[in-house]
Structure 1
Amino acid sequence: MAQINCLAQHFVSNSTKFTAVFSSDLSRARITAEGVCHAQASPSDETPLRPILTRNLREKEHGSMEGSFWNASPPSPRPRDWVIPESKPSMRKRAEKFFDKHLLPLLMRDPHSRQNIAVVAHGIILQELWSYLIEIFTPPDTEVAPGICDTNMTTLHRKPVWSNTGYMTILITPNPTERNVLPTVIPNFAFVVLGIDDKRHLADLHRTRGGVGTAAHDVKQKKIDQFFQKATV
């Protein structure tokens, strides 16, 4: 919760007023989105900002491998009731549905109005959404702002990664430049990445001895080496 509070207050201190917050309906993303919305509230707000929850932003469904280590292999032979993990095309379809249903209408309704939109989700589905975005905007009008450097993404066509509560900032503005584009591309918009995995809000958040985040140290909490027996000679 400490990281969520830092993130929410970071946006408030930067005078970032969100007009809409979309979130996965799974608890981890939902709680983050609710924290951001709650911090945005002011006494004059007649209608408090609430996250719009959608299943299309859920993380990859791992089927019967849910809860397993990332490098675990499925059993052989597989049980009859074995559920295979969600496929990449399935996740891509969900990302497209989310954009077409929620983001595209906001973008096309009034392209010249200023809207701050937050999307709170999970790493793998965010990568699929990212891949879709850089495909549907005109490549010559898609760029990373000067000074933005990230070791995990040297070009726009590589998938970025996100730390816990790390966020990306994208600026989409009307671009009157006439171009011949493919039918699958949204014309007349500039797409600029202003930040990748931004964690400035965590700068003053430090771990206390044996604690988590800024939580106090619990003397009853075991250290990791206490779970292992020392070898005897």
Structure 2
Amino acid sequence: MIRLFLIRHGETVDNVAQVYAGRRDSDLTNHGFHQGTRLGQWFANRNVKFTHIFSSTLKRAHKTAQLIADAQKPSDPSTTEVTKVEVTPLGLLQEQDYGSYEGQPFSVRRFSDRQDVRESHPTPGSENSGFVDVESKESMAQRADEFIGDYLVSLCASAEVDQEIVVAVVAHGIILSVLWKRFLQQLDRNSVSLAQDLQGPKAPVSLEHHLGAFSNTGFLELDMSKNPKPTRLLETTTKHTAVDPNQFDALLPTEGSFPAGKDDEAPAKEPHNSDCSESKNATSQEIAGAPPSYPMLHGWTTEIRAINCKDHLNGLKRTGRGVGSARHDETQKTMDSFFKRQKRE
């Protein structure tokens, strides 16, 4: 069995400022740090023991992933020794690259038909050769496919009987949305269902449409199990390497769809991951052991248990006087640590 969690990072300085972050390494705010801490504790208190944690290389996602890893409890209750889960940072999981729009307010693209905006942010092909356009949907789809094939499919293929593999993927709102849609294409039709006690949405959801935006530290939870004897597909599916740029138009979040400060992050310009090793010895299809016309995860059943779950944030309030929205400083001492030091002295 495989439990998969797709998790968005905590709140950032650029989220609060409502500017495009993209590849900018925007810091977590103090509130974002507390969100990540809460999430890590929430998983630990529910005995969710991660075997693999992947994150974007951008520090807002990597720090959130590290907070989750640090909160893990000992596997053996009789000992305090914890087997550390290493966070694997991957450039494939960076957010959509907003190019020349990064650091700019959301209104710059929203009202791009205005003359003053066009002059200050020229379109590609204009005299300003320094303009960098937004990363394409095809590029994001290619990165998502590469991560799915090289990492998620490989984990599924290596899963032993009765073994539970628990995976966290900590990244950014838009790339997570693309990742989910591409992952869905690799599952058998009619093999995905919603749990009766589904956490998160208050309205009915459809797998054929986007399940909704990711809030800061909101997560999508999937439980996957391998069918002993998968049935043959009556209808072949599109090969996973084919990318239809039009299919994403109704699936990606818009600038105004992200709660708590729209997502504004970004991924690498290169479709491949410079942080990853060379491609694996076997292709994703060979690893999965499925014919090319089958989805890579043919024979797996998936249950969606949570969509944009934020239960861990219940009762969490932002620190006032601008402290909560300020950049989190690792060197800051908390009030609790001050009193502990005083007591020891």
Note the C-alpha offset of 1:191. Answer: 1.2
Alpha-carbon distance in 2 for matches of 1:55, 1:18: 21
Partner of 2:188: 138
**Deviation digits for residues 155-183 of structure 1 (CA, Å, limit 9, x no counterpart):** 01222311100111101101234132522
Alpha-carbon distance in 2 for matches of 1:71, 1:151: 30
Partner of 2:215: 163
Closer, same or farther: CA 153–98 of 1 in aligned 2, 3 Å: farther
Q: Where do residues 141-152 of structure 1 align in structure 2 (5 Å cutoff)? A: 141-148=191-198, 150=201
Closer, same or farther: CA 193–62 of 1 in aligned 2, 3 Å: same
Equivalent of 2:141 in 71, 82, 92: 92
8 A contact 2:52–2:168 mirrored in 1: yes
**Deviation digits for residues 103-138 of structure 1 (CA, Å, limit 9, x no counterpart):** 111101125321110000001100111011111101
Equivalent of 1:59 in 74, 78, 95: 95
Partner of 1:108: 157
Amino acid at match of 2:102: E
Say if 2:158 is the partner of 1:126. no
Say if 2:207 is the partner of 1:207. no
Closer, same or farther: CA 147–23 of 1 in aligned 2, 3 Å: same
Q: Gaps (5+ residues) in structure 1?
A: 216-233
8 A contact 1:144–1:156 mirrored in 2: no
Partner of 2:81: 44
Secondary structure at the aligned position of 1:146 is classed as strand
8 A contact 1:111–1:173 mirrored in 2: no
Say if 2:244 is the partner of 1:194. no
Percent identical among aligned pairs is 31
Which structure has more RCO (C-alpha within 8 Å, separation ≥ 6)? 2
Alpha-carbon distance in 2 for matches of 1:127, 1:108: 24
Note the C-alpha offset of 1:150. Answer: 2.2
Note the C-alpha offset of 1:143. Answer: 1.4
Structure 1 vs Structure 2 CA RMSD: 2.2
Equivalent of 2:106 in 70, 92, 108: 70
Alpha-carbon distance in 2 for matches of 1:5, 1:194: 22
Partner of 1:23: 55
8 A contact 1:162–1:197 mirrored in 2: yes
Alpha-carbon distance in 2 for matches of 1:205, 1:213: 11
Alpha-carbon distance in 2 for matches of 1:48, 1:22: 14
Say if 2:205 is the partner of 1:154. yes
Alpha-carbon distance in 1 for matches of 2:230, 2:221: 23
Secondary structure at the aligned position of 1:172 is classed as strand
Query: Which 4+ runs in 1 deviate beyond 6 A?
Result: none
Tell me the TM-score normalized by structure 1.
0.84
Note the C-alpha offset of 1:27. Answer: 0.8
Alpha-carbon distance in 1 for matches of 2:91, 2:129: 27
Amino acid at match of 2:81: S
Closer, same or farther: CA 68–209 of 1 in aligned 2, 3 Å: closer
Secondary structure at the aligned position of 2:185 is classed as helix
Amino acid at match of 1:99: I
Partner of 1:178: 231
* Number of equivalenced pairs: 214
8 A contact 2:159–2:165 mirrored in 1: no
